[in-house]
Amino acid sequence: MKVLAKSLLLQKIALKHLKNGDEIGLVPTMGALHRGHVSLIDKSVKNNDVTIVSIFVNPTQFSPGEDFLQYPRSLEKDLFVCKKSHVDYVFVPNVNEMFSANHKTFVEVKELQDILCGKFRTGHFRGVATMVAKLFNISFADKAYFGMKDFQQLKILEKMAKDLNFRTKIIACPTVREKDGLALSSRNAYLSFEERDLSACINKILKQAASEFKNKDLNSILKAAEVKLQKIPNLKIEYIQAVNSKDLSSINKNSEFCCLVLAVRLGKTRLIDNVLMRK
C-alpha cells in the first residue's frame, strides 16, 4: 500500500493504471474510519483492480461555527485499517494541496444543494461536490463508492457526475449500523453515554414510520414521528421529510419510491438518517 500526499503524483499513477486497462475504484472519506467506511472499501477492493482511498477533512464543506477543528482525526489507525483491507493507494493531501489560498473554482448542484441539510449547512454540498469532482479528476476512477447514510450527498453527486459527464460511475452502498440501529458515523464519538443510549430511538422511529407508508396518510405518519422524536431529551429536530428517492424531488400521494430523511441534534451532535420506503 502506498500513501501519497501529492495530487499530481497520484494522477500520474492512476493514469498508468488506466492505460494498463485496470479498473480503478475510489473511496472518498474524511477519515476516522469505521465499519461503514470499510464496507465501501471492501466493495471497491472486490470489484476493481486498484482501490484508492482518500482521507481528507475538507474545510470547504464545513460551515462557519461547525466542527472542522474538532472533527476526529486518526490517521495512523486509518492507515492500518486500509492496509488490512488491501487498499492499494491512500491519498492524504493537506489543505493547501487541495484548496490553495488562490482556489477560485467551485461546483454547485443547484436546488438539490439548498434543501434538507443544505438549509442548515450553508455551502456544505458545494464543498463536497467540489472536492469529489477534484478527486474524480485526480483518480480517473471507474467507480466511486458512497454510503446511503448520506443520502442527499449521494443524490447530489449522482447529479453532478451526470451533468458534468464524469466517466466515474457512482456506486451507492447500504448504511452500516450498530446493533441497536444507530447509523455508524465518525461524529457518533461526540455522543455522551446517555445520548448514545437515546440515539438508538432515531432509527426505530424512522423504521416504524416507513412501515406505515403503504397504508396511512403521509402527513399523519410524519407528525407521529415528530411527536415521538420530540419526547427524546435534548433532541432538536432539524427536519423530517419524505422525498423522491430517485432525485430528492417532492412527492405526492402517487409517488412509489420514496425516502424518509431526517436530521436532528442530540445535545451538540448532529445526526442524520434515512430509510427507503415504497408504496
Closest distance of CB 226 from ligand AMP, Å: 24
Which residue lies nearer to ligand AMP by CB, 75 or 224? 75
| x/- letters, 239..278, toward ligand AMP (CB under 6 A) | ----------------------------------------
184 binds ligand AMP (CB under 6 A): yes
| x/- letters, 28..47, toward ligand AMP (CB under 6 A) | -xx-----xx-xx-------
Q: Which residues does residue 147 pair with via DSSP β-bridges, in sequence order?
A: 173
Q: Cα–Cα distance between 200 and 169 in angstroms, integer? A: 33
Q: CB atoms < 10 A from the CB of 103, how many?
A: 12
Residue whose C-alpha is closest to residue 2's, from 72, 97, 82, 73? 82
Q: Which stretch binds ligand AMP (CB under 6 A): 12-20, 96-104, 168-176, 194-202?
A: 168-176
Closest distance of CB 76 from ligand AMP, Å: 17
Residue 203's alpha-carbon distances to 46, 160, 182, 275, in angstroms, are 29, 29, 6, 8
Among 129, 133, 176, 205, binds ligand AMP (CB under 6 A): 176
Q: Cα–Cα distance between 136 and 6 in angstroms, integer? A: 15
Q: Cα–Cα distance between 222 and 113 in angstroms, integer? A: 23
Question: Among this protein's residues, is 37 annotated catalytic?
Answer: yes
Among residue numbers 46 through 105, which ones bind ligand AMP (CB under 6 A)? none
Q: Which residues does residue 272 pair with via DSSP β-bridges, in sequence order?
A: 263
Region for residue 157 given its phi and psi (left: phi exceeds 0; alpha: psi -120 to 50; beta: otherwise): alpha
Catalytic option among 37, 86, 103, 124:
37
- Tell me the backbone φ, ψ of residue 164, rounded to 5 degrees: -100, 10
Which residue lies nearer to ligand AMP by CB, 187 or 228? 187
Among residue numbers 187 through 246, which ones bind ligand AMP (CB under 6 A)? none
Output DSSP code: residue 99: S
Count of residues near ligand AMP by CB under 6 A: 17
The helix (H) or strand (E) run that includes residue 134 is helix 124-139
Closest distance of CB 177 from ligand AMP, Å: 7
Q: Which stretch binds ligand AMP (CB under 6 A): 96-104, 182-190, 207-215, 245-253?
A: 182-190
> Which grid coordinates are listed for 276?
427507503
Closest distance of CB 203 from ligand AMP, Å: 11
Q: How many residues does the chain have?
A: 279
Among 183, 210, 260, 271, binds ligand AMP (CB under 6 A): 183
* Residue that the C-alpha cell 451538540 belongs to: 268
Active-site residue set = 37
- What residue ranges bind ligand AMP (CB under 6 A)? 29-30, 36-37, 39-40, 146-147, 149-150, 173, 175-176, 183-186
